[in-house]
Amino acid sequence: MPMPRALLAAPLLLVLLGLGTVPLPSEPHLTPAAAYLPRLVAEGGAPTAALLARRASTAPYDTYRSTGPGIRRADRFRAGSITKTFVATVVLQLARERRLQLTDTVERLLPGLVRGNGNDGRRITLRALLSHTSGLRDYTADPSAHPLTAVAAVRAALTHRPTSAPGRYAYSNTNYAVLGLVVQRVTGHSYATEIRNRLITPLHLTGTSLPGARTALPSPHGRAYTRDPADGDLRDVTSLDPRTAGAAGELISTLDDLNRFYSALLGGRLLPPAQLAILLNTRATHGVYGLGIYPQKLSCGTTVWGHNGHIAGSYVRTAATRDGLHTLTYRIDTDTLADARTLEPALLEAEFCDRPDSHRSS
């Protein structure tokens, strides 16, 4: 599956070696994916890489590994487009509560917001926003734009014609900027408040937050780097204004919290079976993307579900089996990973295909 283009790979719209840890007592073995961490550094060009793998089924384990001291297990980091899964979960909870319907149009809920240059909110449903089939141009595609509100982001996108016909998959951060406004219109609260009340607090995601205008990362945290396109040198971008990312990618989290969230989501703790089936339905995108989450079928036949996050100074990927019992989150402390289309599948296959029961949990 082609990896969705994630959020703010350039500086925030300019943008949005040996294993160094000792096994914990609860870790009886080296998780297979950990062997690939040095490749993320040597071949991928990442300063530091880390992962947390957890399996709750047979032969359970909880294993953290890092290539060095640059990333610690408890560190907070920017999770980029993984924010989308949180937003999508809230929208489906609201649908369950009959406060909205996925067939509602943008025009019905946000009159007059999406109009002009061939963009028509009367033809775009919430389902289309969630699945990236709206055709709305990605506002982050214009490096000269620095919208600090969702409305400004949508207006930036509307200066262009749709990038595709409605109903055709085209990943666009604008879709989730609109969804953030929808949540606020329906609930009377910001999407950040709804995510905190519905997901972060009930799941005890103590390292997860939505920073709003706060430019600093909460402690503890490491550094975040981006490569200068002029000379290739690493530049520190730990502090940045996350408002440009908004509902499309402002989330801050930890390795533990992301594993816990996806395990709870896929395990049915956040959505009942009917809504979870809708979340995972990829028919509209021909198997590429569900609603804020996407599948990746591995060579062994196992399909993992999750999302990636790409923002200035950070790349992260979470994947989990369909039952949520086996999860993996890995991250690097830069937004540039060379040869990601080779290294990431290899890492996922090492984790999810090299286990005796990996096929049974797909």
Residues classed as catalytic: 81
Instruction: Provide long-range contacts, Cβ within 8 A and 24+ apart, for 341-345.
Output: 341/3, 343/36, 343/39, 343/40, 343/43, 343/44, 344/3, 344/317, 345/296, 345/298
What sign for the dihedral angle of Cα 208, 44, 325, 61? negative
- The number of CA neighbours under 13 Å toward the Cβ of 352 is 31
Strand pairing class (314-321; 326-332): antiparallel
Are residues 103 and 125 in contact, defined by beta-carbon separation less than 8 angstroms?
yes
Are residues 354 and 32 in contact, defined by beta-carbon separation less than 8 angstroms?
yes
How far is CA 248 from each of CA 23, 75, 96, 228, rounded to the nearest angstrom? 36, 22, 22, 24
What phi, psi does 307 have (nearest 5°)?
-160, 165
> Would you call 212 helix, strand, or coil by DSSP?
coil
